[in-house]
Every structure is written in C-alpha cells, then in structure tokens.
Amino acid sequence: MHTVAWPDGRIVPALGQGSWKMGEDARRRQEEVRALRVGLDLGLSVIDTAEMYAEGGAEEVVAEAIAGQRDKVFLVSKVYPHNASRSRLPMALARSLKRLKTDVLDCYLLHWRGSVPLADTAEVMERMQQAGHIRSWGVSNLDLAEMQRLPGIAGRMIPGSADHAPGCATNQVLLHLGERGVEFDLAPWMAARGMPLMAYSPLGQGAILDHPTLASLATRHNCSTAAIALAWVLSRPGTMAIPKTGTPHRVGDNARALEITLDSTDLSALDTSFPPPRRKRPLAML
C-alpha cells in the first residue's frame, strides 16, 4: 500500500476516495454507499467530503457508508469560505459532524479562499483542534502566495531548519496528467515542509482517459487507463489521490493503481504527452 506521512506522524493511505456529486440523486444513494464500502474493503480508507457537496448530502452518504467502521477511516471534510470565520466555523463543523455521525474529523479543510482573513480561519481551526473536534486542519485551492502567508500562523519549526511550516497539515488542489501547474512551485514548497498534497479530480473528470499514451501503458500493465493516471499521481512523492466514483466496479479499477509501478520509460512517455510546467501558471480550480 502506498502511504504518506501526515505531519502529526500518522501514516495515511495515499489512495483514497472522493465524494463530490454524491448525495445529489436519491436513486443513486445505495450504489454510492456500496462504492465507498468497496473502497474501504480495498484499503482506500481516506474519504474526502465537504459541506458544499449536495449541501451536506454527500456527508450523509459517507456517514451511511462508514457506519460501524469509523475507526478504519481517515475522514476529511471541508468548510465553505463564508463559514470560515471565528464565529461561524464552529457551527459549520458541528453540522458536518452531526451529518457524518462522528465526534471528530481527521482533517478539516478551508474549501477555498474567501473574504475571511486566513489568520482568523487558522486561529479557529487551531481552537477546534485543541478542543478535540478535529485532529488536524488544512486548506484547499490555495496557491503558493497564499500558502506563504500561513507559516507565521501557529507555525511549527522544521527540524534542522530556520524556516517554519504552518500548523496547516495539507493543501488539496487540482492535479492530474492534464493539469500539472502545481508542480512548478507549490508542490515543491509543500514537499520541503513535509506537507502532503491532496490531489482532487486526479482522473481529470475522465477527459484524459482516452489519450493513446495512457491506452498504450494500460495495455502494457494490463489495467485500465484510470489506473495508469492514478499510478502517475501516486508516483509523486508526498502526494495523495482522492478519485471519486459512485460505481462499485470502478473502485476496483482505481485500486489497481496500487499494484502498478511506472518505470522511467513509462514516466518519460507521460511527460512527452503531458509536459510538466515550465513557468508559473494561475492555480487551476474546479
């Protein structure tokens, strides 16, 4: 099993499951629950959700899927930017915990940057962590300039360095073969600070999966193109992938990525077809 080291010392599976768009159609609910449970059985125990997804509906789907298995799950949810203030975040967190039927989140993320000052959000996140409602906190969709404002907030020293890493544990950003912009500066900055990167939409919402290079490598490794795309994400040091599928049989295709090691020839072919960034780009978001 590919793993990453969380800043607090926990070892976390590098391949997890997303839940975006789950909970939007009641007719699909049981299939979505089954998909998440299949993933848990396969060791994909990081589950990511958000209060935004189906306005809490996805959290309710996740709650049903993990019922009786909470201790096996590394559970992540996200707060709306307008709820990320000192006064509103504790209430938003309480609602998420209630929908998820748990008393603690393993990580709680600011979904994207809004009008609330980052210092205020970090302060209340630290307070929720100290109160035992969350085990760690992080952000999502923040570019390097915004991340660089975090080191002075509840900073911790990096051993052997005069620099500081933020109390922030992770940054969840868009990363897949077709969108590699974060590799230019954000990902290296995070790696230097021991901060895992959570890659959302690592399959590019399917847009990259028909590419002939992926098809060729899938034939070579006897797997799906999705497994190759995920294996590439997992090959990035300190990087987690949280693909979403509400279809149980596709979860097995995703999990196959854990068995694939891309060699230098494979990686070179992917770099040729999906070139890494050579300059700074605006942070891509969905």
User: How does pLDDT run across 30-77, given as a tens digit for each residue?
Assistant: 999 999 999 999 999 999 999 999 999 999 999 999 999 999 999 999
Share of the chain above pLDDT 70, in %: 94
- Predicted local distance difference test score (pLDDT) of residue 193: 86
What type of residue is 11? Answer: I
Question: For the chain, first and last CA: distance in Å?
Answer: 28
pTM for the structure as a whole: 0.94
Query: CA dist 69 to 41, 45, 75, 94, 97, Å?
Result: 10, 10, 11, 20, 15
Do 145 and 182 touch, CB atoms closer than 8 A?
no
Any long-range contacts for 157-166 (C-beta under 8 Å, 24+ apart)? 158/193, 158/194, 163/193, 165/7, 165/193, 165/194, 165/195, 166/122, 166/193, 166/195
> What's the pLDDT at 133?
98
d(CA 236, CA 22): 28
Q: Tell me the residue ranges of DSSP E strands in 71-184.
A: 74-79, 107-110, 137-140, 156-157, 164-165, 171-174
pLDDT value of residue 150: 81
Mean pLDDT of all residues in the chain? Answer: 93
User: Is residue 154 scored above 70 in pLDDT?
Assistant: no
161-168 average pLDDT score: 57
Would you state the pLDDT for residue 189? 92
Domain boundaries, the chain: 12-273
- pLDDT attached to residue 91: 98
Q: Report the CATH number of the 12-273 domain.
A: 3.20.20.100
Q: Does residue 161 register a pLDDT over 50?
A: no
CA distance 58 to 244: 12
- pLDDT band at residue 148 under the 50/70/90 scheme: confident
Strands 11-13 and 74-79, by their bridges, are unpaired
Residue with token string 């975006």: 20
The CA distance from 60 to 184, in Å, is 37
Q: Determine the residue type at 284.
A: A
Phi-psi region of 76 (alpha: psi -120 to 50; beta: other; left: phi over 0): beta
Sign of CA dihedral 263, 266, 270, 275: positive
pLDDT over 80 (residue 151):
no
Q: Which range, of 160-164, 165-169, 272-276, averages the lowest pLDDT?
A: 160-164
Cα–Cα distance for residue pair 107/134, rounded to 1 Å: 6
